[in-house]
A and B are shown apart, each in its own frame.
Chain A
Amino acid sequence: MALSAVAPVHAQQSRTLKSEMEVIHESLGVNFVYDSAIEITVPYSGKPMKDVIKGNRKEHSILLDECLKALFAGTDIEYEVMKKYIVLTQADKRKKPKDYTIFIEEQHDTINEASITAYINRLRNTTQTGLTEIDASIFNKGFATFSSPDLIRELQNLPGVSGGTEMLTGMYVHGGDGNDNLFLLDGVPMYQVSHFGGLLSSFNTDVIESLDFYKSGFPSRFGGKLSSVVDINTRPGDMNAYHGSFNIGLLNGGLQFEGPIVPGRTSFNIALRRSWFDALSIPFLAIYNSTLPYPEEYDFRYAMTDLNASVTHMVKPDSKLSMNFYAGSDYIGFENSVKQVAWWDGVRYTGNNGYEIDVRWGNILGNLAWMKKFSVDLHLNTSLYYTRTNTDVSLYENEWSAGEYEFWIQDEGIRESTVSILHDAGFKADLDWIPSEYHHLRTGVSLVEHFFRPSSSSSILRTNTDEKKNIEDTDSYSVAYDSFEASLYAEDELTLTSWMKANIGLRYVLNALEGNTYHSLEPRAALRFQLAPNISAKMSYTEMSQFTHLLSAHYLDIPMATWLPSTESVAPMRSRQVAGGAYFNLPHNLYLNVEGWWKTMDNLYEYCGIDSIYPDMSDWENELMQGKGRSYGAEVELAWRTKSTDISAYYTLSWTERYFEGFWHSWYPARNDNRHKFTLNASHRFSKRFDMFLAWNYHTGNRMTVPTQEIGFTEYYASPYNYKLPDYHRLDLGFNFRKTTKRGNESIWNLSIYNAYCRMNPMFAQYDHYKNVIDWNTGEYEDKITFKTMAAIPIIPTFGYTLRF
């Protein structure tokens, strides 16, 4: 109360064009683009924008025009609305702001649209620390691994994020474990976020509109994971015109199409991707098999498909219904068979010895969302959703044998299959209310039922002999848990003074499983101090809880891992994080951000059973070791942006450690304890028809555990993760050649070169101690020790073609 009483007096005294532009920016979602020569800090004495907007239910463009007219009346500033950008010019010069207008006109182009957003510097103006906002165009700025731009690979480049094993889409944020990132696709949690064993993320950038990535300073509207939030929104279909794109690349291709169903009211947007690695492997292996001198055959297939589809319907100008759907699946299969032949009494009998491995995994998710705008200041978003992730592993082994001296034939096959599924069915409602220019309230509730089906296994032993015909012996085993999670949150974006903003929130979560209930109260607070017009400082404190645990016997991002609930003996994970930073808009188009963080993590779990591809589910709670973690460090971002050039450099200095009493008696470095990380991104537009992109990545090597001591034949490990792999570095290049076709469509030939100077970065190391091996030079027996690093990813050039129509 005291704040609201004081603030209006202060605000009245300091209202400027700029402060009112910020009100418009935050209320109506538009950005201002202007040349630094335009003076926008002049006092504004007209009707406050908040009063113009508040309670106004006019159509967005009419209201925006009304605001702009009122704001710039009597000034020498003219404006032009270009989609969601307001371009300001000075009346006497009649010249658009330098450097930026061209980007707006071509915002579907590959140039970094985020740089435009950055001009008004939302990073500096938002209250949250650790927030990165990325527009769709940044994904298409020039580089595409295996022909598809990759969202997660973009995030891996950011400071404070470790990428884990090369090429895979691991994401270890501020010392996290990789399974503690909340991925939301149109507000629906997604559990498996990669295809192809992690080589390609599940997010199709053809339909993604924007992404908010939080590493710290989490608003209370997000929860459920410890380390990061990746809030991804897809683009609703165009309400007025049909258009789309088609692309084809090294391993996959895609088609995207959108347009009106009922012009101006209902639209659709659909995108499909499919790999064709199987189409290449089938003929290749057919040729290979034909060269084998014995009756043996190999078969290997991999296929990936994903589909995004959405329908958006404007019920009224202030009421919108949307339905979003995603389905993604991967299949990998390997088969080996050797034909067997036996003769008896002149009759030929045949069979096969061999085995098959089939793995299928994927996600299905969808939601039905309703957005109601009661006024410009009051919105309600509700959503019913369903998400499912599943893995199905099937192993089949067949053995055929026949008698040599008497007639008998035995054909025996055993099939073992394991299915792991997690279903979530949920409802959530979020209310967004701006009661005054000093408060922006958000509150909401979420109810989710988790259906964990971590292991449903069956084995079938089929025996076929002279005496027994197709006798089958089956066995099955399953584990199931149903847990309920309810959460309630409230947050307020407070404008305390003209130079101080805060986001204060609280989240409460209840998690219940079979009579065992956990309660979690998670305070969130973020403060922003505007130290000078171009300098701000921020601080935040957040607590997060995670009630789901990923049980995996390895670090590879392959689907042999299972989500499990918090139980009586497996407690929810908890993180606490303090972050702070300073954000500068420097002269000469330079931007500098410095952030630091300190984070602790409790109730972390590591698999501690016998290593196997699939962990044993019968006793999984005893296969987990409980421990804790901590991570701290600093990040620096420096960017320089001009009309044709965009250069960003990121540096991270960090420490990440673990303490698992059962593993080691003191703190030890985590696997992704990369002390230094440096990324340089640069893009340059040479002409309208040609631009290029460059990215250089460096980080201190990942860690692994190798034996360092031995007694007799027994090897000992001096401490966990005692070996640091050689430092990692890589250069990626991308080139876009653009052309407008006769029909006015845009065609782009893209050449991407991954690892341009072919640095063979070690993925792991192998220690071997051979006892008593003969030295062929001396003829003497000796011990031989080898320590080798293994690398697998060379230079990978990729061609891709995209047609936008």
Chain B
Amino acid sequence: MLILVSCERDAKFNPDDTGKIYLYGIVSDGRDDLIKVNVSRPVFGVEAAMPEDVSITLEADGNEVELTRDVEYVSSGDGEIAYLVNEPFASGQKLTIRAESAGLPSAEAVTVIPEPLPEFAVSHSVEESYRVKDGDLLYGTFSTLSKFHVVIDEEFSKDAFYGVQVLKKKQIEVVGTLEDPIDESLYGNEEYDNIYEYPVMTELSSVKHEIIIDHNGGELLVAEMIDEDGKMAFDVYVDNEPRYMTNAEWHGDELVYACYEYYEYKIKVFRIPHEMYHSLRSEYIKENSDAPLHLGFSPVTYAYTNVKGGLGMFAAVTSSETEWIDYN
């Protein structure tokens, strides 16, 4: 009955007169780290400034750091521009970014270069990519996954956050003598592997909260940490691509030559600061949530930013990586 008599009315709402400066940057090793700049539009207003109008400065412990406009950066249509940072930083350095533009509130964000990562160990295994319960297939496709189990030599803490990227490099092994030369350019190139969201379904259909973002052209997984004998540990999955034979010639029982392709992997682990974790998680929650968040009956809408006066995220990470390893 109450639904029948409910009514809606236009309401006045003008919380922001102007847009806000949007900054997004993850400073890692100081090599071509991107800082993206944009200007948001108030929902009931008009765009007051363009990203080009925003002047930004970056300081490391009070000393200005040179920023170079990345003219090759192409935004996805919203006018975003980017600057490059090409200066290595040391752990403990405090980075302050400030942005200003006429008619907009100033924006400022601070981050501290995290401590270096301690040693970590990686083990590898192959798992089925589907789950079986009592003999019946519940969900999934028939394939296998490479699981990298990472254990970091650091005491477990719920408040420490780590990310991981998996790089792979296709290699070839030739047994015997090939008649035709190999096109070397097809091999030895580094690329980021796609991270598999696994297990995406449990037996009761609850989604695991794994956050995957794009970082420096590759997928970066913000891992869910496991307490393994008091140490920090996590798993990351990629499609399993076992060593396989691409070409071979047999003379009777004798193998004259054979070509094998396989991948070598490198695991790159990042130490992620709180502000980056909260920002990424808020984006994840927002993207995966439905209407009730808008209805005012849900807990606070998760909208974290560490850019005071503006929007976005500015964070610094440290990373460490393994050697190239052939897990086959």
Q: Which residues of A contact B (CB under 8 A)?
A: 165, 416, 457, 459, 473, 475, 477, 552-556, 569, 606-611, 616, 618-619, 622, 658, 660-666, 668, 671, 702, 704-712, 715-723, 725-726, 760, 762-767, 769, 785-794
Contacts and interface: CB of A to CB of B under 8 A. Distances in A.
Contacts, number: 188
Given A477-B203, A665-B306, A790-B8, A712 B300 contact: no
26 contacts: A475-B203, A555-B298, A608-B285, A610-B288, A610-B289, A611-B290, A622-B224, A661-B274, A662-B281, A662-B282, A664-B303, A665-B304, A706-B15, A707-B43, A708-B15, A712-B77, A722-B15, A767-B294, A788-B9, A788-B10, A788-B11, A789-B9, A790-B6, A791-B9, A792-B2, A792-B5
A791 B274 contact: no
B297 A766 contact: no
Contacts of A661: 274, 278
Contacts of B302: 608, 663
B93 to A, nearest CB: 20
Nearest to A789: B11
B180 interface: no
A606 B300 contact: yes
Given A664-B304, A716-B20, 16 more contacts: A459-B204, A658-B300, A663-B300, A705-B296, A705-B300, A705-B301, A708-B43, A709-B41, A709-B42, A711-B311, A716-B22, A718-B15, A722-B15, A764-B296, A766-B8, A767-B13
A473 B13 CA distance: 52
Given A708-B43, A709-B43, A716-B40, A764 B207 contact: no
Nearest to B292: A611
A790 B41 CA distance: 26
Interface string B22-44: 10000000000000001111111
Given A662-B278, A760-B7, A611 B300 contact: no
Q: Considering the complex of A and B, which 7 residue pairs feature the smallest CB-CB distances, nearest first? A: A764-B296, A704-B296, A717-B303, A712-B78, A705-B301, A709-B40, A792-B6
Nearest to B133: A475
Interface string B170-212: 0000000000000000000000000000000011101111000
A719 B306 CA distance: 11
A785 B2 contact: no
A721 B301 CA distance: 8
A475 B204 contact: yes
B303 A720 contact: yes
B296 A763 contact: yes
B251 interface: no
A710 B289 contact: no
A666 B7 CA distance: 36
A765 B13 contact: yes
A709 B10 CA distance: 19
A502 B282 CA distance: 49
Main secondary structure of the interface of B (DSSP, over half): loop
A618 B40 contact: no
B3 interface: yes
B295 interface: yes
A788 B12 CA distance: 8
A792 B296 CA distance: 14
A475 B209 CA distance: 22
Most buried by A among B78, B281, B296, B298: B296
Nearest to A568: B158
A622 B44 CA distance: 36
Contacts of B300: 606, 658, 660, 663, 668, 671, 705, 720-721
Contact of A709 (B3, B16, B293, B306): B16
B268 interface: no
A787 B10 CA distance: 6
A786 B274 contact: no
B143 interface: no
Most buried by A among B39, B278, B285: B278
Contacts of B44: 785, 787
B29 to A, nearest CB: 26
Interface in B298-327: 298-306, 308, 311
A191 to B, nearest CB: 20
A334 to B, nearest CB: 13
B74 to A, nearest CB: 14
A790 B275 CA distance: 35
B43 A711 contact: no
Given A708-B15, A709-B43, A792-B2, A554 B274 contact: no
A723 B13 contact: yes
A711 B6 contact: no
A619 B13 contact: no
A166 B302 CA distance: 24
